[in-house]
Structure 1
Amino acid sequence: MTRVELQYDLSKPLSDADYERLSELKSVYGVMGIRLRPDASGMTVEYDATRLNPDGVDHVLKRSGLPVLRVV
């Protein structure tokens, strides 16, 4: 297993529904964890690089409807 982190900025504040979606992402195969920044301006997604790649993580987040943009 290779753990990798990606940084994302939020394009708008998270709603209650967004927080529910975040909790559901923990069940996605390969997603190891999600940490929000203390100021809630973005988040870090930790994933298993043997299961997902950066484009796959982007796809999972966009499919969930979260307002995120990957930091390059």
Structure 2
Amino acid sequence: MTQLDVLYRYGAPPTEAATLALGKVREVYGVRRLVVNEAEKTVRVEYDASRLNQSVIHQLLRRAGLDTLEPVALFTTPEPAPAPAA
């Protein structure tokens, strides 16, 4: 079992119907946790990568009625250190 997280930014706040549908997304086998952050307009989904992938998670959120705009990077890779001058 491989646990992964994906973070999406959304545009319009979810409607009441979309909020109820997001609750049903949590019942999908392989989705472990779903957290909506209204202040940052993001939704974070923890899922089992052996059962689902990022595109399936995106489809589930869109079908629930969430206006997903873009995935957000959870981390950035540091730039390599400059080479020492000789």
**TM-score normalised by the chain length of structure 1:** 0.86
How far apart in 1 are the matches of 2:33 and 2:2?
13
Unaligned segments of structure 1, at least 5 residues: none
Match of 2:32 in 1: 32
Q: Is the 8 A contact 1:13 1:40 kept in 2?
A: no
Q: Matched residue of 2:19: which SS?
A: helix
Identical counterparts, % of pairs: 33
Distance 1:51 1:33 in 2: 14
Deviation (angstroms), 1:42 = 1.1
Aligned position for 1:70? 70
CA 1:60–1:53 in 2, change beyond 3 Å: closer, same or farther? same
Query: Corresponding residue for 1:8?
Result: 8
Which of these two proteins has the greater Rg computed from alpha carbons?
A: 2
Match of 1:17 in 2: 17
Equivalenced residues, count: 72
Query: How far 1:38 moved relative to its partner?
Result: 5.1
CA distance in 1, matches of 2:16, 2:54: 26
Deviation, 1:45, is 0.6
In the alignment, the residues of structure 1 paired with residue 31 and residue 54 of structure 2 have an alpha-carbon distance, to the nearest angstrom, of 11
TM-score, length-scaled by structure 2: 0.73
Mark the CA change 1:70 to 1:32 in structure 2 (over 3 Å): closer, same or farther.
farther
Q: Name whichever structure is richer in helix by fraction.
A: 1
Where does structure 2 lack aligned partners over 5 or more consecutive residues?
73-86
